[in-house]
Amino acid sequence: RKEVEQDPGPFNVPEGATVAFNCTYSNSASQSFFWYRQDCRKEPKLLMSVYSSGNEDGRFTAQLNRASQYISLLIRDSKLSDSATYLCAVNRGSSASKIIFGSGTRLSIRP
């Protein structure tokens, strides 16, 4: 089993829809969680950190479920510009080096 797993997609949804995807992790000692966005042939860019209590940034909501060991990303009122690959990143401990990235979930928003 991979340490961090994501459904590769693609998720193909109409503009304006709400879409959500999860990222599961295997190490129960993980402390830090992030969502990154990566456009085609570009570098990953931080979308948001994921806090224990959940957090929201505009149309984006991130949640952490420690019991089931997954994080989620919800996008409301999706825009064409949201089309990208979304990578989750999970740390295994307090060391900066132990950050594992998922392979990404591809999202495509259609007009």
Partner 1 sequence: DVKVTQSSRYLVKRTGEKVFLECVQDMDHENMFWYRQDPGLGLRLIYFSYDVKMKEKGDIPEGYSVSREKKERFSLILESASTNQTSMYLCASMTGTHSNQPQHFGDGTRLSIL
Residues that bind partner 1 (CB under 8 A): 8, 31-32, 34, 41-46, 49, 87, 89, 91, 93-99, 101-104
**Sign of CA pseudo-dihedral 26, 68, 64, 19:** positive
The residue (of 2 and 79) whose beta carbon lies closer to partner 1 is: 2
Q: How far is the CB of 71 from partner 1 (least distance, A)?
A: 14
Q: How far is the CB of 77 from partner 1 (least distance, A)?
A: 25
Distance CA 101, CA 72 (A): 14
SS3 of 82, please? helix
Q: How far is the CB of 14 from partner 1 (least distance, A)?
A: 27
The residue (of 20 and 46) whose beta carbon lies closer to partner 1 is: 46
Distance CA 61, CA 74 (A): 5
The residue (of 38 and 72) whose beta carbon lies closer to partner 1 is: 38
Whether the CB-CB separation of 65 and 89 falls below 8 Å is answered with no
The residue (of 32 and 108) whose beta carbon lies closer to partner 1 is: 32
What number of other Cβ atoms are within 10 A of residue 66's Cβ? 12
